[in-house]
Amino acid sequence: MSNFFEMGGYAGYVWSSYGLATIALVVLLMVSLRGLKKSRRDLAHLETLLKSRRPRRKKAQPDAQS
């Protein structure tokens, strides 16, 4: 088992490679998920706001092709 951690004397290089890769990929995923959550909140907020102001107005369709 100690062999596994020592990596033949190259522990610093090997483990920092795997550590940095893990950190970078997890951080990118987290930032993206957080951004998605925030955008959903903002969108829901805006939609309820619009509904309360102009109940009859059709929802805008920004997704539609111009």
Partner 1 sequence: MHRFAKPSVFLKLASAIMPWAIGITVVTLAVGLYLALVASPADYQQGDTVRIMYIHVPAAWMGLFCYVGMAICGAMSLIWKHPLADIAARATAPIGATFTALCLITGSLWGEPMWGTWWVWDARLTSMLILLFLYLGYMALVNAFDDSERGSKAGSALALVGVINVPIVKFSVDWWNTLHQPASVARMGGPSIDPSMLWPLFLIAIGFTGYYVIVLIVRVRLELNERRIRALQLGGVGQSVADQHHLAVPAKQAGAGE
Where do contacts with partner 1 occur on this chain (CB under 8 A)?
4, 7-10, 13-14, 16-18, 20-21, 24-25, 28-29, 32-33, 35-36, 38-40, 42-43, 45-47, 49-50, 53-54, 57, 59-63, 65-66
User: What's the min distance (Å) between Cβ of 34 and partner 1?
Assistant: 9
User: What's the min distance (Å) between Cβ of 57 and partner 1?
Assistant: 7
Chain centroid offset of residue 14 CA: 27
Asked if residues 59 and 47 have their Cβ atoms less than 8 Å apart, the reply is: yes
How many whole angstroms separate alpha carbon 27 and alpha carbon 30? 5
